[in-house]
Structure 1
Amino acid sequence: MTVLIFALVALAVFALLFLVHRWLWIRLVRDTTTAGSRVRRTLTVTAWVLPLLAVAALVSERAGAPFWLQQAVAWPGFLWLAVLLYLTLAMLVAEPVRAVWLRRSGARRAPAAVPAPAPAPAEVLAEVPVEVPGPGADPAPPAATAPAEAPEEPGVPEAPEAPEAPGVSRRVFVARSLAAAAVVATAGTVGYGTHGVLRGPRVKRVTVPLAKLPRAAHGFRVAVVSDIHLGPILGRAHTERIVATINRTQPDLIAVVGDLVDGSVENLGPAAEPLARLRARHGAFFVTGNHEYFSGAEEWVDHVRELGLHPLENDRRELPYFDLAGVNDIAGESEGQGPDFARALGDRDRSRTAVLLAHQPVVIDQAMAHGVDLQLSGHTHGGQLWPGNYLADLANPTLAGLERHGDTQLYVSRGAGAWGPPVRVGAPSDITVVELASYQA
C-alpha cells in the first residue's frame, strides 16, 4: 500500500513538472521565436535536457554513480531546480500583465471605421444616346462602354489597406518583453542566492538565559553549525570556510547538529578533513541528521571520531557546568538507530542544566518531557528558497531562531550549507554563537 501511494505521488509530481515545463516552453520559446528557426530548435533541446539533468542530479548518488559523474550533473541539474522555481513564479506574475498589455495595445491600434461612399445622385447620370439603324442596314455591334466613374466626393478619404497581421507582431513583442524581464529577474535572484552560499555562512550571536545555569557558566559560548551538506557541489573549500569562521569566534564548545554530508565517506572523506582543525576549550560534538542515514551513518560516525569530534549517539556528557546530551536523528529509526531520550537523559540529575543536540526541531515535545532546558537543532534551512519557508514553517515547531516551548527553549539554525540547489533566497546561511546566561549573574 505504501509503495502504491509513493508511486501515485511520484506520478502526480512528474505530471505537474511536465505541465510546468511545457507551459514555460510555450511562453518562453514558442511565443518568442519563429517556427523552424535555429533559435527555437536550440531552446527546445535545452528545455528537454535541463530537466533530465535535474533528475540525474537527484538520483545519481543513491544510484551509485561515479563521483565525477555526480559532480558533472550536479551544477546544471540542481541549479535548474532553482531557476525553474523562480522562472515559474516570474511567468505567473507576467500572465495578467500580458493580458492587460495586449488588450490596451489592441484598443489603441484598432483602425477607425471608414464611412462608405454615398451613391451618385441621379441628376449627374449621363444620358447615353442610342443610334437606331435604318432599314436594311446591318446592325452595328454594340459599342463597348466603359463603366462610368463615380464622382469623387470631397472630404471622404480612401480606405487604408489593412496592415499585415498587426496582432501577430504585437503579440511577439509582448511575449519577448515579458520573457526577457522574467529571465533577468530569475538570473538575478538565483545568482544572488548562489553567491550567498558560496561566500559561506555569517556569524549570528544569540544570548539564552537559563534558570539553572550556575554563575560560573555565565557567558559560556556554544558555536552551533548545522546542515553543512558536503557533496558534489560543496566540497573541501566549503568546509575550510566554515572551520575558519567557527575558530574565529573562539567558542567554548562546538556543536555540529546533523546533515554534515550528502554522500559516502569514500567520496567525501577528503572534503570533511578540515573539521580536524576545529578548536574549542571543551571540544566539538556531533549528532546525526537525516542525510547521514542516506549516506552511511555508521561510517560517518566513525570518520568524524577520527577527525577529533565526539559523536553523541543517544549519549550524554557531564560538563563542568551543565549536561550536554545528543540523540540520533529520527531517520535512523528505519535502521534501529533512532533517538532514545531515556538512554540519553533518563537517569540524569535534573537539578543541573541540560542542553540537547537534536537535528530536527520536531522532537521538542520529548525534550520537554525529559526536562531539557535548551535544545539546539537545524534541519529546516529556514526554508532555503522563498516561498519554501511557508511550507517549512508548517512542518516544524520553529522555523529558525529562538523560541520557548513550555519550560524548554529551542534554537534552530538555518544551517551553513544548502541541499540540492546551492542557492538560498530569503534564508541566509549562518553559524550561531549561543551565549549561555545565568540568572544568578
Structure 2
Amino acid sequence: MAIVVFVLVALLVLAVLVTGNWYLWRRLFRDTTQGPGAVRRAGAVVIVTGWALTVGAFVTSRSDVPFWLKQLLAWPGYLWLALSLYLLLAVLAGELVRPVLRGVLQRRDRSAETTAAPAAPAAPAEARADVPAEPETVPPDRGAGAARDAGPGGGGASAAPEAPAAGPSRRLFVSRVVGGAAAAAAVATVGHGTYGVLRGPGVKRVTVPLAKLPRAAHGYRIAVVSDIHLGPVLGRGFAQKVVDTINSTQPDLIAVVGDLVDGSVKDLGPAAAPLAQLRARHGSFFVTGNHEYFSGAEQWVEEVRRLGLTPLENARRELPHFDLAGVNDVAGEDEGQGPDYARALGDRDRGRASVLLAHQPVQIHEAVEYGVDLQLSGHTHGGQLWPANLLAGAANPTLAGLDRYGDTQLYVSRGAGAWGPPTRVGAPSDITVIELASREA
C-alpha cells in the first residue's frame, strides 16, 4: 500500500512540474514570438537543462561522486530551482495585468480613431478647369502586368498599392511586456535574495527574562546560530563570515543548534575549520540537526569536538547561574540516536534556570513537560523562500522569533545559511544574541 501511495504522489508531483513548466514556456517563449523558430526551441532547451541540473544537484548531494562535481551542479541547479519558482509566481501575477493592459490599449486606440480628423477627398482633375490632367504613368517594373490590371481597353486607374506590413498585434505586444516584466522581476528577486545570503547573516538582539535567573547572571549573552548548511555552495569563506560575526558580538556562550553541514567530513572538513576560532567565556556548544543524520552524525560530532566545540548529546552542563542542556534531533531516532529528555533533564534541580538546545521547534512540547525555561531552536529558516513560509509555519509551532508555551519560552532562529538554493526571500538570515534578564535586577 505504501508503494502505491508513493507512486501516486510521485506521479502527481511530476504532472504538476510538467504542467507548470509547459505554462512557463508558453507564456515566456511561445506567446512572445510570432511563429516557430529559434527562440521557442532555445526556451525549451533552457527549461529542460535547468531542471536536469536541479535534479543532478539533489541526486549527487547524497551520493559518493567527487565533491567538485557536486559543486559544479549545485550552483546552476539550485539557482534554477529558485528562479523557476519566482518565474512561475511572476507569470501568474501577470495574468491579472494582461486584461488591464489590453483594455488600456483598446481605449487608447478607440480614442485615437475618434479624435483623428477625416481627410477631405481630393477633387477629380477633370473637374478643375485651371489644372490640366496629368497623364497616367506606369512604373517600369510593373510592365505588362500593370497594363492588364487597367482593365479591358487599357483605360482606367492603376491598382492600389499594397498596405504596409502591420506591426506586432496587440496580443503579442501585451505578451512581450508582461513576459519581460515577469522575467526581470524573477531575476531581480533571486539576485537580491542570493546576495543577501552570500553577504552573511546579520545580528539580532533579543532580551529574554527568566524567572529563576539570579541577579548575577543579568545580561548574560548567548550567541545562537543555526542552519549554517556548509556544503557544495556555502563553503569555508562563508563559515569564516559566520565565525567573525559571532565573535564580534563578544558572547558569554555560543550555541550551534544543528544543521551545520550538508555533506561528509571528508568533503566539508576544511570548510568547517574556521569554527575552531569561535571564542566565548563559557565555551561553544553543539547539538545535531536533521541534516547531520544525512551527513554522518557520529563523524561530525567528533569533528566539532576536535574543533573545540562541546557536543551535547542528550546531556547537560551546570553553568554558574543556570543549566544548559542539549538533545539530539528527532531525525536520529531512525539510527537509535534520538532525543532523550530524561537523560538530559530528568535529574536536574528545577529550582535553577534552564536553557535547552534542540534543533526543531516541535521539540518544545517535551521541553514544557520537563520544566525548561527557554528552548533555543532553528530548522525552519523562517520559510527561506516566500511563500514557503506558509508551509513552514503550518509544520512548526513557531516559525521564527520568541514565543511562549506555558512557563517555557521558545526562540527560533531563521538560521545563518540556506538549504538548496543559496537564496532567501522574505526571511533574512540571522545570528541572534539572546540576552538573559533577571527579574531580580
TM-score computed with the length of structure 1 as normaliser:
0.86
Secondary structure at 2:375's aligned position in 1? strand
Q: Which amino acid aligns with 2:187?
A: A
Q: Does 1:80 align with 2:107?
A: no
RMSD: 2.4
Partner of 1:62: 62
Q: Which amino acid aligns with 1:336?
A: G
Partner of 2:433: 433
Partner of 1:378: 378
**CA offset digits 1:129-161 (Å, max 9, x no partner):** xxxxxxxxxxxxxxxx99xx9xxxxxxxxx998
For residue 36 of structure 1, report the CA deviation from its aligned partner.
4.2
Q: Does 1:316 align with 2:286?
A: no
Closer, same or farther: CA 84–355 of 1 in aligned 2, 3 Å = same
Partner of 1:260: 260
Q: How many residues align?
A: 402
For residue 39 of structure 1, report the CA deviation from its aligned partner.
2.9
Partner of 2:334: 334
Partner of 2:46: 46
Partner of 2:270: 270
Asked whether the equivalents of residues 227 and 415 of structure 1 are also in contact (C-alpha less than 8 Å), the reply is: yes
Distance in 2 separating the partners of 1:228 and 1:6 = 31
Q: Does 1:414 align with 2:414?
A: yes
Q: Which amino acid aligns with 1:6?
A: F
For residue 32 of structure 1, report the CA deviation from its aligned partner.
1.6
**In terms of mean alpha carbon deviation, does 54-63 or 209-218 score higher?**
54-63
Distance in 1 separating the partners of 2:374 and 2:52 = 44
**CA offset digits 1:337-394 (Å, max 9, x no partner):** 1111111101111111110000000011100000000000000101111111121111
**CA offset digits 1:246-286 (Å, max 9, x no partner):** 11111110000000000111100100000001001111000
Partner of 1:282: 282
Distance in 2 separating the partners of 1:69 and 1:10 = 27
Task: Give identity over the alignment, percent.
Answer: 68
Distance in 1 separating the partners of 2:245 and 2:269 = 21
Q: Which amino acid aligns with 2:56?
A: A
Residue correspondence of structure 1 range 15-414 to structure 2 within 5 A: 15-103=15-103, 105-106=105-106, 109=109, 169-414=169-414
Distance in 2 separating the partners of 1:160 and 1:366 = 86
TM-score computed with the length of structure 2 as normaliser:
0.86
Secondary structure at 2:17's aligned position in 1? helix
For residue 176 of structure 1, report the CA deviation from its aligned partner.
1.2
**In terms of mean alpha carbon deviation, does 380-389 or 224-233 score higher?**
380-389
Q: Does 1:7 align with 2:11?
A: no
Distance in 1 separating the partners of 2:14 and 2:304 = 38
Partner of 1:122: none
**In terms of mean alpha carbon deviation, does 169-178 or 383-392 score higher?**
169-178
Distance in 2 separating the partners of 1:2 and 1:68 = 36
Asked whether the equivalents of residues 34 and 40 of structure 1 are also in contact (C-alpha less than 8 Å), the reply is: no
Distance in 1 separating the partners of 2:394 and 2:40 = 41
Q: Which amino acid aligns with 1:30?
A: R
**CA offset digits 1:213-247 (Å, max 9, x no partner):** 11111111100000000000000000000000111
For residue 172 of structure 1, report the CA deviation from its aligned partner.
1.9
For residue 171 of structure 1, report the CA deviation from its aligned partner.
2.1
Partner of 2:145: none
**Structure of greater Rg:** 1
**In terms of mean alpha carbon deviation, does 326-335 or 10-19 score higher?**
10-19
List alignment gaps of at least 5 residues for structure 1. Answer: 113-144, 150-158
Closer, same or farther: CA 312–274 of 1 in aligned 2, 3 Å = same
Distance in 2 separating the partners of 1:340 and 1:3 = 32
Distance in 1 separating the partners of 2:244 and 2:170 = 56
**CA offset digits 1:297-319 (Å, max 9, x no partner):** 11111111111100011111111
